[in-house]
A = this chain, B = another copy of it.
Amino acid sequence: MPFTFDILHRQGSARTGVFATPHGEVETPAFMPVGTLATVKALDPDDLHRAGASMVLSNAYHLHLRPGDELIRKLGGLHHFMGWDGPMLTDSGGFQVFSLETLRTITEEGVEFRSHINGDAKFFTPESVVAIQRNLGADVMMQFDHVIPGQSSEAVAGDAMERSARWLGRCLAAFNQSAATAPFAQTLFPIVQGGIHPQLRRESVSRITDQADWAGFGIGGLSVGEAKPDMYSMLETTDDALPRDRPRYLMGVGFPDDLIEGVRRGVDLFDCVAPTRMGRTGAVFTHDGRLNVKRAELREDPGPLDPDCDCPTCTRFSRAYLRHLFVSEEILGLRLLSLHNVHFLIRLMRTAREHIAGGTFDRWSADWLGRYFATPQLTR
C-alpha cells in the first residue's frame, strides 16, 4: 500500500522507519540527491544506485520552464523521462519563485514572475503548481508555499505562513479534483512555515493538520539565512508539534552536521544541492571536515579522498588523480566528486539508522560532530 510510514526504532526524537511509495520503499532517515532538471548533475541513474540513493528530488519550477511538464507527461512522466525507477519527490517551485526577488509579484491568487531563462511572463498558482506536478508524476508532490527570508519579522512570517496555509487548501482541492484522471499515483505533502517564530510554527502545524490526514510533512523556510541555533530550535518546535507517525522532510538542508542535528530532532528526509554543487568546484566531504582536491599538497597523494569511504570514487581513484582531473578541467572529475559527496551523505544516514536501531545514536552523533568540527582543514 503506497505512502505508508512504519517506524522501526526510536532513540529520543530520532527514529528509523520505512516510507513506502508506489516506486518502492525508502529507509529513513535518508538523504535525497537533487536532480533539478531531471538529472542529478553529472550523475546517471546507475551512479545514483551505486551511491545508495533510494529517493531523488526534482523541481517543478525548472522542469516547467525546460523542457516543459506537458512534454514530460507526453513522454511517460518524469520517472521514465530521466530513467529513475525509484521513489521521487518534486518541489513545488515556491522556493525558486520567491528567490527571483525583483522579477516577481505576489498576490493572494498566486505569483507572477519572469522566467530566469528568457524573461517570459509566468503565473504560478496553487492550482497550476499541482497541475505541473501531476504532469511530472513524482510519488510525492509539495504544496505551493510562500517562502520568506530566514530573518523575517513575526509579522512578515505570520502573513506568509497564513498564505501558505490558505494555498495548501487550494492545492489539496486541486489535488483531489485531479486524482481521478491523474496518470500517476501521488501524494501531496504540506509545508510547515513560520520563520524563526515558534508560535507561528506551531500555528502552521495546526492549520495544516486541520485540513487532512497527510502522508508526510515538509518543513520549509529553514537554512535560508537564519542562524543555526534558530534552525535547530525550530526543528525542536516542529518535532513536538507534528504527528510523530508521519515522515518529516526538512527541505533544502544537506550539510553533514545539519543532517545529524536534524535526525536528532525527528527529521526523516533531507535534500540539498550542496554535495553536487560542491563536487563541481572540487570540494568534498570527509569524515573530518572538507577537502578541496585542487590543493597543491595533494599532487602526489596516492590515498583516497576519504580513507573511511567505500564509494566508487574512493575505492578506485587517488587524490593525485582526482586533483589532476580538476587541474586539467576534465569532465570526469566533476562526476567522481559529485558521486563521492552524494554517497557520503547517503551513507551518513545509513550509519545513523544503524546507530538508532542499536541504541547508540546519541553517543555516535556527538562523537561524529566533535570529530567533524575539530579538524583544522574544515572550511565553511
Contact = CB atoms under 8 A, between A and B. Distances in A.
Task: Work out how many copies of this chain go into the complex.
Answer: 2
Considering residues A44, A81, A318, which has the most beta carbons from chain B within 10 angstroms of its beta carbon? A44
Contacts of A219: none
A336 B280 CA distance: 18
B67 A327 contact: yes
A335 B299 CA distance: 26
B44 A324 contact: no
A317 B299 CA distance: 38
A260 interface: no
Given A71-B320, A321-B81, A321-B82, A330 B300 contact: no
A332 B300 contact: no
Considering residues A66, A82, A321, A327, which has the most beta carbons from chain B within 10 angstroms of its beta carbon? A321
Contacts of A185: none
Given A75-B320, A81-B321, A328 B66 contact: yes
A39 interface: yes
Interface of A: 37-39, 41-46, 66-67, 71, 74-76, 81-83, 280, 299-300, 302, 312, 316-318, 320-321, 323-325, 327-328, 330-332, 334-336
Nearest to A42: B331
A318 B45 contact: no
A315 to B, nearest CB: 10
Contacts of A71: 299-300, 320
B321 A45 contact: no
A82 B332 CA distance: 11
Contacts of A299: 67, 71
B44 A328 contact: no
A89 to B, nearest CB: 20
A325 B39 CA distance: 8
Contacts of A327: 66-67
A66 B323 CA distance: 11
Given A38-B321, A39-B330, 13 more contacts: A42-B335, A46-B312, A66-B324, A67-B320, A67-B323, A67-B328, A71-B299, A71-B320, A81-B321, A82-B321, A83-B316, A83-B317, A331-B331
Contacts of A42: 331-332, 335
Nearest to A302: B75
Contacts of A39: 325, 330, 332
